[in-house]
Structure 1
Amino acid sequence: MRRRFVIEAVMVASYGHLLVPSRPVDYVLPYSSVLELYEMRDSGEPVMDNPEDDRHVKNKISELIEFFEEPLNRKKIEKALQVPWRESAPLLLSDTIQFTVVNAVDNAQYGEMFDPIETELILTGMKLNIPLLSDQFEYEDRLIEAGVPVQVYDIEDFEFAVEEGISADDLRV
């Protein structure tokens, strides 16, 4: 069975181990995080502190953009963008990785504590009842402090999340 996670598109480009999961994975991306890839690619700002790592990640960002711009993938994404909260048909990267792009809509429900992309990640996880993957401790702490009803895994726990995870029943202890 394919495990699903809500994630920012840039994290897939930044963390190579996300591209070699031990089991099939579906990365669910709010469309705004796909758009963020273009901003990062075109910006003069570094994505990573180390110049060599920055070049590598920007190259991966460009590859991911090319993947999303392939005619079939672009058509699937455009169809999803016609209706709020519609999910694209699966965009197959490999036998073990697929992406689903969601036309997420920030309703400002969590606007006080979270930026628009963070809010869309939260709402996507809640709406689809799937966990988030994050690499930002502060974000994870704010999720807990705000009592946001969504499961979150730190990127360091990715293999655990893919292999075992924590079920909703486990959380009701």
Structure 2
Amino acid sequence: MTRVFVTEAVMLAIYGQLVVPPKPVEFIIPYTTIMELYELQPSPEPLMTNTADDQHVRDKIGELIQYFEEPLNKKKIDRALQVPWAKSPSIPIGDRTIVTVINAMDTATYGDIFDPVETELLLTAGRTEAPIITDQYELIERIIENALPVQVYDIDDFDFALELPFPEQAE
């Protein structure tokens, strides 16, 4: 059975282990996180503390952008952008990994506590009943502190999250 997680597109570029999991995985990615890739790649702000790692991640972001811009993948993504909360057809990014892009909408549900991208991740996780995978410790803390009805895992616990039995996830 394929495990489903909600995450940001940049996580796939930064953490290569996500795209080569030991079990089949589907990542649901809000479209706005793909748009963030275009901002992150040329940004003068370092993405990683080590210069070589920073360049590697920027290269991976560029590869991911190119992959999403390939005609078939772009067509799949564009299909999802026609209607709020629509999902794209699956986009394979590895032998056991697929990405589904969702046209999430920030509805200001969580007010000032979460930024728009975080809100989209939370709303997507709630709608799909899939856990969030993130490296943002502060986000995890705020989710727990506010007792939000979503599961969240630190990126370092990805393998552990793959092993846990999940409740049936919504289609």
Same fold (TM over 0.5): yes
Aligned to 1:70: 70
Taking structure 1 as the reference length, what is the TM-score of the superposition? 0.94
Partners of 1:76 and 1:19 lie apart in 2 by: 19
1:46-65 aligned within 5 A: 46-65=46-65
Instruction: Show structure 1 runs of 5+ residues with no match.
Output: none
Aligned to 2:30: 30
Give the letter for the 2:112 counterpart: E
Instruction: Show structure 2 runs of 5+ residues with no match.
Output: none
2:12 maps to 1:7: no
Aligned to 1:44: 44
State the 1:166 CA deviation: 4.7
The SS at the match of 2:76 is: helix
2:154 maps to 1:154: yes
Partners of 1:153 and 1:72 lie apart in 2 by: 31
Taking structure 2 as the reference length, what is the TM-score of the superposition? 0.95
State the 1:167 CA deviation: 3.3
Aligned alpha-carbon RMSD (Å): 1.2
How many residues matched? 168
Please say if residues 19 and 94 of structure 2, whose CA atoms lie closer than 8 Å, have aligned partners that are also in contact.
Answer: no
Partners of 2:122 and 2:141 lie apart in 1 by: 13
2:166 maps to 1:167: yes
Structure 1 stretch displaced more, 41-50 or 131-140: 41-50
1:126-141 aligned within 5 A: 126-141=126-141
Partners of 2:35 and 2:71 lie apart in 1 by: 17
The SS at the match of 2:41 is: helix
Structure 1 stretch displaced more, 146-155 or 42-51: 42-51
Give the letter for the 2:58 counterpart: K
Give the letter for the 1:165 counterpart: L
